[in-house]
Structure 1
Amino acid sequence: MILKIEKIGLSLEVEDELLNKLLEIGKTHYPKEFGGFLIGYYSENNMHLHITDTILPKKYQASKYNFERSTKGIENELVEFYAENLRKIYIGEWHTHPDNSPIPSATDISAINTIINSKKTSIANPVLLIIGCSNTTVDFGFYVWFENKLYKYE
């Protein structure tokens, strides 16, 4: 799947296999939210992002309307992805919205700001994937923080 934000010229690519994997992982935690870290790499001009993998948190707290993950215990997995391909880096987050739409909440926006302002991350434009899912529907919402604004990939 390739998505674009025409207004700012960014594009994003993710394989259906990875999206299905994230959905299945999310469903195992239904009706609570669940999520993880997104791994990928940018094109040479930084205008195209390819999301390739996920890392699941080792420690987290979840409810029907909230998901908070810890970074503890994932360092080795990040190093492994980087060793596999020097361009592969942490590029953002994903989580589910059980029985809800994939629209960022105020908490989601706050989490993006925390990522941007963290001295531990060096990503200027974090990506957010929200999977709105129920027993009968699934909707993927991809967003990117770009120049102090959240944009949706279409």
Structure 2
Amino acid sequence: MKLYNKHRKVELIIDQELLEKIGNTGIVHFPNEFGGFLIGKYSDDYRTLFITDYILPKSYKGSRYLFERSSKGMKSFFSKLFKKKKEYYVGEWHTHPNGSTGFSETDLNAMINIEASPSVNIKNPVLLILGISEKQLNQATFYIYDNKKLIPYE
């Protein structure tokens, strides 16, 4: 699946199978929100982001309208991943059970904090929000973070 962000003139590529796998992981936690980290790499010109995998947090809190994950222990994991596969953290994903894929103020603030974090070396992280029901993935929207805004890919 290939998506484009007109604002930044960048594209995002993710295998449909991987997107469905992420969705199914979220469905297991229905009716609570759930999420994790997105893994990938950029093309040499940084115009194309390839999402290659996802990682689940070691600890988290999930409720009907909230997902909070810990990043504890992830720094060394990401360091090893980069050395081994030249892939790295590129953003976040989480579900909205029986909800839309629109982002909340909480989602935006989380991305602002991620971008500002000295331990995160990425200026335009992506956010994937999955609208799920008890049995299926209904919708998925990717956003790129840019200058305190979340702008959707189409």
Pairwise same-fold verdict (TM > 0.5)? yes
Summarize deviations over 1:60-107 as a string: whole Å, max 9, x none.
001010000001133443234213322x11110000000000111000
Segments of structure 2 that go 5 or more residues without pairing to the other structure are: none
Whether the 8 Å CA contact 1:94–1:129 is kept in 2: the answer is: yes
Q: How does 1:114-125 map to 2 (within 5 A)?
A: 114-125=113-124
Are 2:71 and 1:71 equivalent residues in the alignment? Answer: yes
1:131 aligns with 2:130: yes
Give the Cα separation in 2 of the matches to 1:127 and 1:65: 21
Per the alignment, in what secondary structure is the counterpart of residue 82 of structure 1?
A: helix
Give the TM-score of the pair, scaled to structure 1.
Answer: 0.93
Ranges of 4+ aligned residues in structure 1 off by more than 6 Å: none
Alignment partner of 1:110 is 2:137: no
**Match for residue 28 of structure 1?**
28
Please give the alpha-carbon distance, in whole angstroms, between the structure 2 residues aligned to 1:25 and 1:31: 12
Q: Which amino acid aligns with 1:98?
A: P
Q: Structure 2-normalised TM-score?
A: 0.93
Q: In 2, distance between residues paired with 1:49 and 1:145?
A: 13
Aligned residue pairs total: 153
Say whether the 8 Å CA contact 2:125–2:145 is kept in structure 1.
yes
What is aligned with 2:93? 94
Q: Give the 3-state SS of the residue equivalent to 1:90 in structure 2.
A: strand
Q: Secondary structure at the match of 1:101?
A: coil
| Contact kept? 1:55, 1:74, Cα under 8 Å | no
What RMSD over aligned residues (CA atoms) do the two structures have, in Å? 1.4
CA contact (8 A) 2:40 2:49 kept: yes
Between stretches 116-125 and 142-151, larger displacement belongs to 142-151
Local SS of the residue matching 2:20:
helix
* Alpha-carbon offset, residue 137 of structure 1: 5.5
Paired amino acid for 1:12: L
2:76 and 2:114 map into 1 onto residues whose CA distance is 20
Report the secondary structure of 2:28's partner residue: helix
